[in-house]
Structure formats: C-alpha cells, structure tokens
Amino acid sequence: MIGLEAENILYIQLEYLLRIAIACVLGTAIGHERRNRNKSAGIRTHAIVAMGSALMMIVSKYGFADVADYDASRVAAQIVSGVGFLGAGMIFVRNNLVNGLTTAAGIWATAGIGMAIGAGLYLISIGAAVMIIIAQEITHRVSFFAHAASGGSLRLTLVQKEGVIMNMEHMLESRRVDIAAIKIHKNKKDEIKVEFEVIYPPGFDKTGLISDLAENEDVVTILE
C-alpha cells in the first residue's frame, strides 16, 4: 500500500512538472513573437513568467491540501497583482507617447496562461496562447492595425523674420502633426534655431514633410 501511494504521488508530481513544461513552451512561443518585434521582454521573460505562474498556481491549488478549510485562491490571487508590477516596468513615456503597453499586457496574459496550465486547463491555455500570437501577428501585418502614432523631434534653423515660427507651426498643424513642445535658441542676428517636439499621426509620411520643409525658403537646415 505504501509503495502504491508513493507511486501515485510520483505520478501526480510528474503531471505537475508537465504542466510547468507546457507553460514554458507557451510562454516561449509568445516571447518569440515579441522578440521578433525587438521588444524589451522576449523569450526568457515570457517563459519564466509562464512557468512561475504555473508553479504558483499548482502550489496554491494543491500545496495546502493538508490544511483544513484552506482557501485555494489566496496565492493565485497574488499572481495577478505581482505580475502587474513586472508589467509596469515595461511601460515608459517617450516623446509624449506611452510605449510598452502591448508588451506589459502580453506579460499579464502570459501569467494568466501559466495559471490556467497550473490549474490543469490545458485546452483553454493552449487556445488562449494561440489566439494571443495570432492577434499580435494580424495587428502587425495588417496596415490598418499596424499604423500607430509616433513621436519625434524636428530641429530647424530658420531665417529670422517676423512670424516665421508661427508659419512653421501652421505648416505642421495643417498636416495633422501635433506640437508637444517648442524650444527656441537665438544665437545669431539673422537665424533662429527651433526644436519642435512633435507627435505624428498614424501612417504619417515623414519623408514628404522633410521635402516640403527643405523647399521652404525660410528653412536653412533640418535635423530630425
């Protein structure tokens, strides 16, 4: 009887290890897509998040079975908030635009997949991972979804004359370019150096804008 019980325990724990391994595979698949996009969180991050979530879910669900009236959801509930801190580290603001939200959301979803695997919900976990990867691929390949607003700066040397800066502002605004900030430097009597912090609309033609600026008689030099 003791030998049979030990064999059953070994079989059960091998199944738990299998769940962690499957979570690793699914996390690796999601991380591979992120790495191909040159994102900060790639294969290792997603794989570890998935494995860790599966491990903690297994501990939460089965690790306290010898305790009377234990709450199996207590440890699992903390995974969501804990991964939230990890995802927050992926989000940063640059040129007045928020970056990293998709990667942070992917980390959060990967944790959910790991938890589902840990709970033994194989079909749901695999299906969710496939849907995440497909959604990422579609939104990057289809131009309607792929185009997004982008930030940047335009450093112009302008001929100093009345209304020249206002004319540049109107030119940018007429092309739906939002101006977030302006820095003006006067170092010569006949020239003004202006730096525009701008936000380009989705699918914006930056080359066309640079060409138009180059043809403007008030523009001496252009740096992007």
pLDDT in tens, the chain (224 residues): 555 566 677 788 888 889 899 998 988 888 887 777 666 667 888 888 888 888 888 888 887 766 767 777 777 777 877 777 776 776 666 655 566 777 788 888 888 889 888 888 888 888 888 888 888 777 767 655 556 667 778 888 888 888 888 888 888 888 888 887 788 887 667 788 888 888 877 777 788 888 888 888 888 888 87
Q: What domains appear along the chain, each with residue ranges and CATH number? A: 2-146 (no CATH), 150-223 (3.30.70.260)
- Rounded CA gap, 129 and 135, in Å? 10
pLDDT for res 143: 57
Residue 102's pLDDT is 76
pTM of the model: 0.61
**Hey, which residues does 37 pair with through a beta bridge?**
none
As a whole number of Å, the CA-based R_g of the chain is 27
Q: How many angstroms separate the Cα of 139 from the Cα of each of 102, 125, 148, 205?
A: 11, 21, 11, 20
Ramachandran angles phi, psi of 107, nearest 5°: -60, -45
Q: How far is CA 186 from the centre of its chain?
A: 40
Q: CB–CB of 50/27 below 8 Å?
A: yes
DSSP state at residue 100 = -
* Non-local CB neighbours of 159 within 8 Å, separated by 6+ positions: 190, 191, 192, 217, 218, 219, 220
The whole-number pLDDT of residue 6 equals: 66
